[in-house]
Amino acid sequence: MIGYFDTSAVIPLLLAEPASVRCTKLWEECDTKVSSTFLVAEAYAALGQAHRMGRLGDGEYVRCSKALRSRLRKVAMASADRVICDRAGAIAAVYGLRGADAVHAASVEAVSGTDTVFISGDRKLLETASKLGVRVADIGDV
């Protein structure tokens, strides 16, 4: 199985969250992990915000950042190039997604095959991916 992990499905792999068990199970079940290059910026931004808000202490932030780098080495990255961004704009306009979510929707649509599953906790994004013909796995509320 090919798993496309959006940011909401990667952060629970790094931090203890209600979706952590489900995300870890899906991560282990996927032979191939895929995401958009956009994931890198989003995931580091999420960790930085958790650190600034005091959810992560200095040591935990360093540990999570290292864990993120390790996970990212195992993810095949779909480039958020002009074609993907143009498609993302169209998807955003039709389905009312924010830009970052539309990039993930366009990226998973571009790489999707019969053995691909889009893994996310964002219900609106999951609904959009499903309408685009992609199988989805809901990790829970985000």
Across the chain, what does the average pLDDT equal? 96
Q: Is 98's pLDDT higher than 80?
A: yes
pLDDT confidence tier of residue 140, bands split at 50, 70 and 90: confident
pLDDT at 117: 98
- Domain region containing 65: 2-138
Per-residue three-class SS string for the chain: CEEEECHHHHHHHHCCCCCHHHHHHHHHHCCEEEEECHHHHHHHHHHHHHHHCCCCCHHHHHHHHHHHHHHHCCEEEECCCHHHHHHHHHHHHHHCCCHHHHHHHHHHHHHCCCCEEEEECCHHHHHHHHHCCCEEEECCCC
* Percent of the chain whose predicted confidence (pLDDT) is above 90: 97
Quick: pLDDT tens for 11-54.
Answer: 999 999 999 999 999 999 999 999 999 999 999 999 999 999 99
pLDDT tens digits, residue range 114-127? 999 999 999 999 99
pLDDT surpasses 80 at 65: yes
Q: Per the structure, how many domains does the chain have?
A: 1
How confident is the model at residue 111, as a pLDDT? 95
Q: What is the CATH number of the domain that holds 119?
A: 3.40.50.1010
